[in-house]
């Protein structure tokens, strides 16, 4: 018989599993927390609309990032889910239960704000222990749970210190720890990293992903940082002026935005938007760009036409900076590849790549080049791109559909 001394063994688990333990409850069952928003709307005093009616389902365990500029309704949406504000219309259903009249305390959620909002008179240990005591956790288990959370967030050496002696990043880690200590089924984050330096933001984003991977919690993260959204989200919900414009996985938001705002807000450097016209040309069609110093045009096939009720007239052509490339050599005979002429204004070195800022007449363009570009400021260059990857936006700033989705 083999005897194992369990007391002498050290079990090393992934970070998130240590912290949240798959969000299990005392009976061992996983607490599901699907959030359903049906016609959810909020109108503030004097008729100011904070949120137009929203239809959205957030599956249990998903990391949804709500993305948008200041004043877009992100925090309003979060406060409605948390129960800190009451909707003007619509319903919030969590795990099959209508939240009308349900207090924030009884929604089994935790919220982390932009400001850590720690209790200044309590130590880090007591800040972490507070929600456990408030929920009636057995006294004997609190110390062990607090140390588990602190160890996972790498703040165990700080447990005896007060919030005033901590750095901004340390305070935010304590705030995260306080939120997850009691393993809530929903965690709401209201731009908790926005005031931190970029390296610290990146580190805490990684910590957030570790926490989420090992939990069963549904996580809704509000931010105005599109890069943060693209790198962390299972899905992104884009808000602007209180309207939900699009909700999808990061790739579809970036490559197939539903409208001009989403296309321009998501992506760094931002997308190039070029006014143009599509006109009939014999048996085919032709794109005309006249706003550049050197007007240009090229034929377009029927399967590349932007699909709207009338696929002719004024549009905006959307090209991500990485879609543009410097045309090499002479154009091959019979080639119909689009060509745009521009002057290199400046080159910005970003390590693995160089971003070129170009001008043509009153228009500007941005292109991603390799780490060792052959062009220099002041040169006139020909730019080309793959028309099948182009985006089109109509006069109402809606994205037009595409005949073929990207592979």
User: Across residues 151-158, what is the average pLDDT?
Assistant: 89
Tell me which residue range forms the domain holding 381: 271-393
Lowest mean pLDDT among 18-27, 72-81, 205-214: 18-27
Does residue 267 carry a pLDDT above 70? yes
Q: Are residues 275 and 226 in the same domain?
A: no
Q: Are residues 222 and 286 in the same domain?
A: no
Q: What is the number of domains present in the chain?
A: 2
Answer yes or no: is 399 within a domain: no
- Could you read off the pLDDT of 111-134 as tens digits, one per residue? 998 888 899 999 999 999 999 998
Domain boundary among 212, 230, 264: 264
Q: Are residues 127 and 195 in the same domain?
A: yes
Q: Are residues 23 and 145 in the same domain?
A: yes
Q: Are residues 252 and 389 in the same domain?
A: no
Q: Are residues 55 and 194 in the same domain?
A: yes
- Could you read off the pLDDT of 7-57 as tens digits, one per residue? 333 323 333 333 333 344 433 334 478 999 999 999 999 899 999 999 999
Q: Are residues 94 and 213 in the same domain?
A: yes
Answer yes or no: is 203 within a domain: yes
Q: Are residues 181 and 308 in the same domain?
A: no
Q: Are residues 237 and 315 in the same domain?
A: no
Q: Give the CATH number for residue 299.
A: 2.40.50.140
Check residue 20 and give its pLDDT. Answer: 38
Check residue 323 and give its pLDDT. Answer: 94
Q: In which band, very low, low, confident or very high, does the pLDDT at 290 lie, cut at 50, 70 and 90?
A: confident
Does residue 402 carry a pLDDT above 60? no
Q: In which band, very low, low, confident or very high, does the pLDDT at 159 lie, cut at 50, 70 and 90?
A: very high
272-281, strands of its sheet edge to edge: 296-300, 284-289, 272-281, 313-319, 391-393
Domain boundary among 224, 249, 264: 264
């Amino acid at each position: 018989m083999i005897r194992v001394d369990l007391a002498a063994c050290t079990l090393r688990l992934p970070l998130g599993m240590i912290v949240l333990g798959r969000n299990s409850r005392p009976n061992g069952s996983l607490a599901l927390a699907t959030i359903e928003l049906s016609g959810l709307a909020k109108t503030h005093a004097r008729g100011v609309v904070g949120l137009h009616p929203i239809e959205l389902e957030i599956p249990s365990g998903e990391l949804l990032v709500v993305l948008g500029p200041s004043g877009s309704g992100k925090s309003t949406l979060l406060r409605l889910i948390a129960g800190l504000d009451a909707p003007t219309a619509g319903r919030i259903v969590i795990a099959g239960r209508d939240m009308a009249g349900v207090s924030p305390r009884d929604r089994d959620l935790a919220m982390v704000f932009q400001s850590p909002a720690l209790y200044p008179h309590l130590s880090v240990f007591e800040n972490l222990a507070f929600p456990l005591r408030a929920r009636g956790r057995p006294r004997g288990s609190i110390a062990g749970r607090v140390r588990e959370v602190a160890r996972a967030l790498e703040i165990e050496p700080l447990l005896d210190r007060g919030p005033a002696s901590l750095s901004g990043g340390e305070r935010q880690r304590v705030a995260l720890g306080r939120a997850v200590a009691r393993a809530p089924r929903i965690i709401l984050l209201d731009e908790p990293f926005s005031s931190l330096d970029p390296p610290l933001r990146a580190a805490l984003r990684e910590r957030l992903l570790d926490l989420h991977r090992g939990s069963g919690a549904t996580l809704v993260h509000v931010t105005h940082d599109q890069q943060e959204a693209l790198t962390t989200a299972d899905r992104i919900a884009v808000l602007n002026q209180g309207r939900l414009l699009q909700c999808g996985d990061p790739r579809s938001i970036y490559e197939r935005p539903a409208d001009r705002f989403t296309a321009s807000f998501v992506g760094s450097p931002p997308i190039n938007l070029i006014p143009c016209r599509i006109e009939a040309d014999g048996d085919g069609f032709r794109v005309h760009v006249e706003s550049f110093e050197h007007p240009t045009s090229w034929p377009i096939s029927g399967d590349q036409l932007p699909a709207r009720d009338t696929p002719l007239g004024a549009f905006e052509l959307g090209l991500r900076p990485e879609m543009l490339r410097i045309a090499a050599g002479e154009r091959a005979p019979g080639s119909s590849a689009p060509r745009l002429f521009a002057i290199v204004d400046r080159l910005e070195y970003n390590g693995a790549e160089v971003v070129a800022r170009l001008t043509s007449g009153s228009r500007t363009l941005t292109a991603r080049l390799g780490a060792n570009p052959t062009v220099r400021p002041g040169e006139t260059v020909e730019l080309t791109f793959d028309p099948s990857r182009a985006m089109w936006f109509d006069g109402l700033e809606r994205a037009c559909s595409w005949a073929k989705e990207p592979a």
